Structure 1
Amino acid sequence: MDKLVYKSHLIFYTEDEIQRILNGHGMKVDQLFDYVKIIKDWLKTQPHIPLEPSDRQIAYFLLMNKFSIENTKVKLDANYTIKGLIPDFFNKPASHPDIQRALKFVNIGFLPKLSKNLNRIIIWRLKDAEDLDVPLIFTIYCILYELKTILDFSNAEEYIFDMSYFPLSAVGKYTPTIVKRFFTVLEKVYSNRIATLHFVNLPSHALSLINLIKMFLKPKLRERMIFHDNFDSLHEYYDVDQLPKEFNGNGQSFAEINEGTKKLIMDHEDHLTKAFSARVNEDLRSTKLTNDDLLGFHGNFKQLDFD
């Protein structure tokens, strides 16, 4: 259990929550780390993978893949392979001015406590549409997902998008190609399980963006999209102490959450730089890729085409 203890007050969970999550999967801690050892032994036979993930990271990937050893192997491989396929999401260190700039035109971050369903809550709110750079936003998400692999232990993710300020000029900056790339990383690499997608105060002109997002969601995920006319209805899903002040809650303000996100990213810059710069050596891959069922594209990884 010690290896799974939380590492940051910005991403908090208790030992009881760990136990409840494991119990929900019929898993015991000792059994989990038996599985971790199996994955570590397998990694020794994969010389093309550039980094050795920590026990905690392997445990995270096992959890996200419902403790399927084979699925975990595939996703860990893809986690390193994708960095060379979509480098625009992984080519900037945490201290890069563009990353710091992105955190100025959008509020984004984790809520510290898990939801009632033991999921991690991620909130988002646009601040400046004029400077909005969508690839940079998705880079921030990839940074946060990478941090989850070393810091978090939760069943799934619940998103709350505050659309109170989302002008028409912002909609056109989301293109099908960039959205498709992002959802490929989200679902097929980091193995993130989306429990709910809450949209609050959605303007009518943003419906085209919602329809674009739906194109890349499985039918069951489309059913998990919940729309709110105001913040009050969020309280049907979350405790008042959990929600930010801007959502009529007693939790941290958006400004505090954003500062926490900046600190979390900078505190782990060394890990992020190493993880994002690592590249798979395809010459060392024992079985060459000819049909990539994981990402859903035919052909070698190097021939991947998102357009």
Structure 2
Amino acid sequence: MAISFVGRVAIVTGAGTGLGRSHALGLAQRGAKVVVNDLGVSRDGTGSSSEAADAVVAEIKAMGGDAMAHGCDVSDEAGVKDMVAKAMDAWGRVDIAVNNAGILRDKTFAKMEMSDFRKVVDVHLIGSANVAHACWPIMREQKYGRIVFTASGSGLYGNFGQSNYGAAKAAMMGLMNVLHMEGARDNIRVNTLAPTAATRMTEELLPAEAAALLAPETITPGLLYLVSEDAPSRFIMGAGAGSFAQTRVYETQGITLMEGDNTPETIAARFAEMNDPEGQEDLQDAFSQTKKYALNAAKARGLKLDW
């Protein structure tokens, strides 16, 4: 069955270029009305211009779609609220929020100014939270919402010189996990896209042959699925060059130490056992971990917990 967004309203941040532009066009091609958000800044977040967002709106209208541009900085809560209010004034609902806006201020941690660390976190993490928070009451009232956060391999796996970016991108998983739980009863599904694409954010890092394969358009189909009516929730989708995969966090069965044995020396001696992946679990929430540890401790002591 074809995925359609007819009757849906989507907000896509950072939609003037690269991945955001591709996502906005992909949504519009399948019928969504789209708010094209882009501050028009350079890669490091300086300057501003409405040209890129206006150009994407023109593309959407040329294909017969409906779109509006909004140039707010997503880290500005008041600006985000204004953007969502304008979408509501125009179309009466907001169904989809694609958090894609981002900047880079790469340096090794030793050389990085904390102001640059903070600004990157503000745009990626606080900006994503601002958009989700402004849309949240609308989606709860509608009993329908689809939110995607954009992570990165830099956050999930690390990348030299990107402590600020990596920290912000890793935070997307935590935000997704909690909003997935809090939105479930109102049919708000929350997912994370972890793309690797040839955009202005990566233009100096990729050889030409790889860049040709890693076009943003190869990733957008995954995004469209993550915001569709039958989307999953709490799913981290790795994507690039037409390849799609799931990223998951597992916890090993581990070891349980009694009082007399609970020393750093014992942990060192049994580290390989603690690290054994056999029987590892995909825990569903923080309390699952608490319950696991308490039950393991009770079992080691011959106790029975009614839990």
Q: TM-score normalised to the size of structure 2?
A: 0.26
Higher RCO (CA-CA < 8 Å; seq separation 6+): 1
Larger Rg: 2
Higher helix share: 1
